[in-house]
Structure 1
Amino acid sequence: MLKKRLKLVISGAVQGVGFRPFIYRLATELKLTGWVNNSASGVFIEVEGSLENLENFLLKIPTEKPPRSQIQSIETTWLDCLGYNSFEIRHSVSGEKTAIVLPDLATCSDCLNEIFDPNNRRYRYPFTNCTNCGPRYSIIEALPYDRPQTTMKGFMMCCECQQEYENPRDRRFHAQPNACPRCGPQLALWNAHGEFLANQNLALKMAANAIKEGKILAIKGLGGFHLMVDGSNHTAVEELRQRKRRPHKPFALMYPSLDSAKSHCKISPLEEQLLTSPEAPIVLLKRKPHTINLWPFIAPNNPYWGVMLPYTPLHHLLLSDLNFPLVATSGNLSDEPICIEEGEALQRLSPIADLFLVHNRPILRPVDDSVVRIMGGREMILRRARGYAPFPIGLQESEGKISPHPPHTPHPLPLSPSLLATGGHLKNTVAILRDNQVFISQHIGDLSTSEALGAFYQVMDSLKGLYDFEPQIIVCDAHPDYLSSQFAQSQGLPVIKVQHHYAHILSCMTEQGVKSPVLGVAWDGTGYGDDGTIWGGEFLLITEGNYQRVAHFEPFKLPGGDRAVKEPRRIALALIYQIFESFDGLENLPLFDHFSIRELNLIKQMLSRNLNTPITSSVGRLFDGVASLLGICQDISFEGQGAIALEYVIGDLQTNAIYPYKILEETLPLVINWEGIVRGILADLLDNLKPGEISAKFHNTLIEIIINIAEKISQKKVIVTGGCFQNKYLTERAIKRLIQENFTPVWHQKVPPNDGGISLGQIMAAVTRLELGKEV
């Protein structure tokens, strides 16, 4: 019988998912000898045996692999036999770090059964895990993924855990966070001064009782702290709002079970699949009618709740003891990063939390909860963090190969230059390019506080350290005042600046595998334009390595600049003044009740004399102005508040009515004149048309503008991207209308349409630029 040796190098998400024991079992079943090990770049295998068994082995790997693994490539080499006597799992080896770090995963059903089984040694143990679940990204220090390179290195396994860890036929074989009550992390309950109150199961019981009494609990979870209160206790929820300085922004709810969530929310099969998935994100769910007035403080004037299920043993145990939903919001002050360390949490959260439920398993990096919404019949990630980050987005080979020395480049470039993208200013993420894969960080947040800026540096250093990555080129937003752009400029490396909306469109194109030419519709609140003004209502024609601004909304003024962003009523005044050049005869509009005479005169002077009135083409700001005109949002306390209110006031209303508008077509770019829209809204207000009907007409008009521009530009593939397309009504109707008119709509799924996706687009812009040999 002919025998051969087969050498395999498997890359992808193949560490921390039970891949080596799978290979061990498969090889021994097929009577093959050899070995398998982890390396910093993937899994290495050598097997010997009959040609037939080796071919079966090769066929079975992709079809029978562990469920959480993902294979990107299998390199095979056929060799002569060496005479292996058995099959073994060898120690990990070092090398170039390209292996994929798996995200943190929700508790699997096997572990869940154990923590609720009184006869199991892990009964009620809140840090139970196995190769199919538990912490990964939040605890790993370096590749390859082995226990000494995680934050579990300080916990020595007991004999029983060690036996599990070393048994290839056990589901805890090389589960790096493996532990039990005898040898693993422990719980403790502290008061707001950091004084010890209880530990282990008593700490959990006392924490549950405190929540029943209306107390605010800070709980250290998987990727950081949550602040938790009884979701049905109005007083407790309102107290949390006041202490956290979060007056209106919706809170997320953690339900004890899927059935309990179904009692309050409408849950489709796809939403159920997301809630119960290993990623376990927050899912935006429509409330059932009878719950609308049940807990008004959870999400004021909002028909959707952000709902998640318990995803760690600690959450399962706490929610099981309570058996009612809890508010579970990030452990931070507004606009600050989530706390991950006990001392930091005491310092920053003691003005908010009454008690602290902590543990001694260190969290290496903050990883917030991900947020997902069903859009166009599939999931759309709105905040990409736990469960998804740092899983990479692969570049198509044709778009990701870079010439070794492009002409006219002042800095010599290696075959595949190391790119670091610093993202935007709001909803910041950073990204690195490594071997045709873009590793996007978890959500960092808005870089408006020193704490957030510190997290920005920390996350960058963490990604660089994990992959032994040193950037050779930095990519940033073209806005000179963004702190992320200023950081890029300060590093003494070649810098590529990327226009904000171009990055939005490339982000969607890259994750969906779409090639140019396309028409990109990029609508958001703010983006630095090529002409130095604020863009945000853009139609860009994308060709290979370039873009052209082919249409945009007619610019309008923002009286007071950033203050107008916080006070949409100022934008409403600016829209009116731009049309009528006066407020005379319009004083009966409810809008004017929100201004004093002095403030009104001041803003009128600003508008007439162009004093501190930057101009913008932003559709996001247009949403704000219309929300103000309708009387549903005059001042905002969180980003997108006006646009969200405008979407939700529509309710279930069905109408195809639109407002008149004009497109000025003398030259490119085409200019969309919105005067008819605002005049129509003012007329409907005087006729006492309901706000929901006015909002629906406004949305419908925007959608018809997309169709109209697409027809004039004659480009069939249409990308919809930017923060405005987090709006379900706008996005789904745009998709529907584009299909009706024989266009091909493309929208986001794996990467947020908001600024959380900017870093991916920046990487793609730089790759394209370098391929074409353009100067850095």
Structure 2
Amino acid sequence: MGHNRDIHTRCDDSIVTMTEAGIQILRRSRGYVPESLMMNFQFPLPLLACGGHLKNTFCLGKDNHAYLSHHIGDLENLETINAFEEGIEQFQQLCDLQPEAIVYDLHPEYLSTKFALQSSIAQKIGVQHHHAHIASVMAEHGLKESVIGIAADGTGFGSDGMLWGGEIIVADLAGFERYAHFKYVPLPGGEKAIRQPWRMAAVYLQLAFGEAFIDLDIPFVQQLDWSKWDVMSQMIAKKLNCPNTSGLGRLFDAVASLLLLRSEVDYEGQAPIELEMIATPCNESYLFDISNTVPVILDVAPMIEEIVSDLQNQVPIARISGKFHFTIADILAKQCQRVRKEAGLNRVVLSGGVFQNRLLLKNLFQLLIRSEFQVYINHKVPPNDGGLSLGQAAVASAQLNQ
């Protein structure tokens, strides 16, 4: 079908899937937008939440309505930035709304953040990335009391300036406390490490074995480009362009590369997707360490050692993948049990792009249900950064109402 009409608002197809925990929207756009989401609270004033950098959406809040935009996409070129700004103007007209507050992610390099900080709107509110993820679920389900939040994604700017992404927090809409996180590891080359998962595989091997990992008798090490590793190891030692990250998505990248599924990716999440696709169901867990610090540090070095041992013993990679998925679910479920024992909380909220992995979600959901937790996930907005703006709006509203 062809036509010569101008396109005034670009609107992608929506994507919905079924999971163990119910319906999950991966992209909320055509067919859902511009219908508002009803909140069980009142926005104290009209506000605009600008969302994140990838899979961007924005959200307008007015009265008890949250107007989440169509899928804008990754804010990485002029066309998408223009669509973002034009979309905001169109929605303001559609909703008859002039924002009196503007909400943004804490990452200083996000273009959505720069847009907010440069805005003429006087009242500006920054919201931590993973708090917004958890708040998006809380807003959907009308949860106001404190919950155990598990926020799992690739990277998001943390309150300490590090790149978070494997977080267990105790949160309400107004604030949060970081209870536990996966151990920080360097992200060598920054964004380049996301596009080249072999870098994270080498980092985790070094974490587990030290420099002796170069003598390991496994295919990944045998195929490693040592000239590249030499440069990268010097970067890590000198802390040059190697920000620390606790991102769970990067651990999935590392294991996928260790199993030789993918050394470089063509699109976001490709390595973890392929890792999930080959996995066979498993109810056994690898070893892991848990610190007695505050916050608790979750160390997967023992798991990496066991994965290497399995590779040396020619265990099928499908079984290794299945056992890895179950281990991550087991780690997270055990931490929820610890939080419940210490804080008396029984509601668990799951959000972040890693929970688009249906096998991980299934494993964790089942473990939590068996432990008699109440479990909540995103049903009306995406768990990825496409739902971030709703969480930002909910957090800002709660803080303004304090």
Q: TM-score, normalised to structure 1's length?
A: 0.50
Aligned match of 2:64: 436
The 5-angstrom pairing of residues 319-334 of structure 1 reads: none
Contact 1:480 1:486 in 2 (8 A): yes
What letter corresponds to residue 472 of structure 1 in structure 2? Answer: E
Contact 1:524 1:620 in 2 (8 A): yes
Aligned match of 1:680: 306
Aligned match of 1:400: 42
CA distance, structure 2, for counterparts of residue 664 and residue 536 of structure 1: 18
Aligned match of 1:299: none
Aligned match of 1:509: 138
What letter corresponds to residue 558 of structure 1 in structure 2? Answer: L
Equivalent position to 1:722, from 352, 376, 380: 352
Q: Which portions of structure 1, spanning 4 or more consecutive aligned residues, are displaced by more than 6 angstroms?
A: none
What letter corresponds to residue 379 of structure 2 in structure 1? Answer: Q
CA distance, structure 2, for counterparts of residue 743 and residue 584 of structure 1: 40
Aligned match of 2:162: 533
> C-alpha deviations, 1:61-87, integer Å up to 9, x for none?
xxxxxxxxxxxxxxxxxxxxxxxxxxx
CA distance, structure 2, for counterparts of residue 543 and residue 374 of structure 1: 27
The 5-angstrom pairing of residues 242-261 of structure 1 reads: none
The share of aligned pairs that are identical, in percent, is 38
> C-alpha deviations, 1:411-439, integer Å up to 9, x for none?
xxxxxx11001000000001101221000
Aligned match of 1:133: none
Cα drift, residue 594 of structure 1 = 4.4
Equivalent position to 1:765, from 392, 395, 401: 395
Aligned match of 2:77: 449
CA RMSD of aligned residues (A): 1.4
SS at match of 1:438: strand
Equivalent position to 2:108, from 465, 471, 480: 480
The 5-angstrom pairing of residues 90-109 of structure 1 reads: none
Cα drift, residue 620 of structure 1 = 0.5
Contact 2:151 2:351 in 1 (8 A): yes
CA distance, structure 2, for counterparts of residue 597 and residue 704 of structure 1: 35
Is 1:372 matched up with 2:16?
A: yes
CA distance, structure 2, for counterparts of residue 475 and residue 720 of structure 1: 22
Aligned match of 1:573: 202
CA distance, structure 2, for counterparts of residue 504 and residue 584 of structure 1: 36
Closer, same or farther: CA 609–596 of 1 in aligned 2, 3 Å:
same
Cα drift, residue 707 of structure 1 = 1.4
SS at match of 2:102: strand
Aligned match of 1:460: 88
Is 1:385 matched up with 2:40?
A: no
Cα drift, residue 377 of structure 1 = 5.5
What letter corresponds to residue 578 of structure 1 in structure 2? Answer: L
Equivalent position to 2:317, from 691, 694, 708: 691
The 5-angstrom pairing of residues 64-75 of structure 1 reads: none
Contact 1:421 1:760 in 2 (8 A): yes
What letter corresponds to residue 10 of structure 2 in structure 1? Answer: P
Aligned match of 2:117: 489
Contact 2:135 2:173 in 1 (8 A): no
Cα drift, residue 516 of structure 1 = 2.0
SS at match of 1:581: helix
Cα drift, residue 539 of structure 1 = 0.6
CA distance, structure 1, for counterparts of residue 338 and residue 21 of structure 2: 28
CA distance, structure 2, for counterparts of residue 739 and residue 383 of structure 1: 27
The 5-angstrom pairing of residues 748-759 of structure 1 reads: 748-759=378-389
Closer, same or farther: CA 769–696 of 1 in aligned 2, 3 Å:
same
Structure 1 gaps of 5+ residues are 1-356, 403-416
Contact 1:394 1:438 in 2 (8 A): yes
Aligned match of 1:423: 51
Structure with more contact order per residue of length (Cα contacts < 8 Å, sep ≥ 6): 2
Structure 2 gaps of 5+ residues are none
Aligned match of 2:3: 359
SS at match of 1:470: coil
Aligned residues between the structures: 397
Aligned match of 1:663: 290
Contact 1:574 1:607 in 2 (8 A): no
Aligned match of 1:647: 276
> C-alpha deviations, 1:220-254, integer Å up to 9, x for none?
xxxxxxxxxxxxxxxxxxxxxxxxxxxxxxxxxxx
CA distance, structure 2, for counterparts of residue 713 and residue 593 of structure 1: 42
CA distance, structure 1, for counterparts of residue 268 and residue 172 of structure 2: 32
What letter corresponds to residue 748 of structure 1 in structure 2? Answer: N
SS at match of 1:532: coil
CA distance, structure 2, for counterparts of residue 483 and residue 643 of structure 1: 26
Aligned match of 2:242: 613
Aligned match of 1:118: none
Equivalent position to 2:149, from 520, 544, 548: 520
What letter corresponds to residue 400 of structure 1 in structure 2? Answer: Q
Closer, same or farther: CA 459–362 of 1 in aligned 2, 3 Å:
same
Contact 2:43 2:62 in 1 (8 A): no
Cα drift, residue 361 of structure 1 = 4.5
Contact 1:474 1:488 in 2 (8 A): yes
> C-alpha deviations, 1:676-703, integer Å up to 9, x for none?
1111111111111111111111111111
CA distance, structure 2, for counterparts of residue 477 and residue 671 of structure 1: 25
The 5-angstrom pairing of residues 586-597 of structure 1 reads: 586-597=215-226
CA distance, structure 1, for counterparts of residue 351 and residue 119 of structure 2: 30
CA distance, structure 1, for counterparts of residue 223 and residue 85 of structure 2: 41
Closer, same or farther: CA 378–707 of 1 in aligned 2, 3 Å:
closer
Cα drift, residue 572 of structure 1 = 0.6
Contact 1:504 1:722 in 2 (8 A): yes
CA distance, structure 2, for counterparts of residue 587 and residue 733 of structure 1: 31
CA distance, structure 1, for counterparts of residue 18 and residue 287 of structure 2: 31
* Bigger Cα Rg: 1
Contact 1:576 1:583 in 2 (8 A): no
Closer, same or farther: CA 766–584 of 1 in aligned 2, 3 Å:
closer
> C-alpha deviations, 1:518-568, integer Å up to 9, x for none?
000000001000000100000110136220000000000111111111100
SS at match of 1:400: coil
Contact 1:552 1:670 in 2 (8 A): yes
What letter corresponds to residue 677 of structure 1 in structure 2? Answer: M
CA distance, structure 2, for counterparts of residue 451 and residue 593 of structure 1: 43
The 5-angstrom pairing of residues 262-411 of structure 1 reads: 357-376=1-20, 378-396=22-40, 399-400=41-42, 402=44
CA distance, structure 1, for counterparts of residue 215 and residue 269 of structure 2: 27
Closer, same or farther: CA 580–377 of 1 in aligned 2, 3 Å:
closer
Cα drift, residue 609 of structure 1 = 2.6
SS at match of 1:702: helix
Cα drift, residue 375 of structure 1 = 1.1
SS at match of 2:227: helix
Cα drift, residue 394 of structure 1 = 1.1
Q: TM-score, normalised to structure 2's length?
A: 0.96
SS at match of 1:540: strand
CA distance, structure 2, for counterparts of residue 541 and residue 757 of structure 1: 20
Cα drift, residue 596 of structure 1 = 2.7
Closer, same or farther: CA 607–439 of 1 in aligned 2, 3 Å:
same
Closer, same or farther: CA 600–587 of 1 in aligned 2, 3 Å:
farther
CA distance, structure 1, for counterparts of residue 88 and residue 398 of structure 2: 23
SS at match of 2:276: helix
Aligned match of 2:369: 739
CA distance, structure 2, for counterparts of residue 583 and residue 559 of structure 1: 19
Closer, same or farther: CA 389–689 of 1 in aligned 2, 3 Å:
same
Aligned match of 1:555: 184
Cα drift, residue 723 of structure 1 = 0.1
Cα drift, residue 581 of structure 1 = 2.4
CA distance, structure 2, for counterparts of residue 559 and residue 744 of structure 1: 38
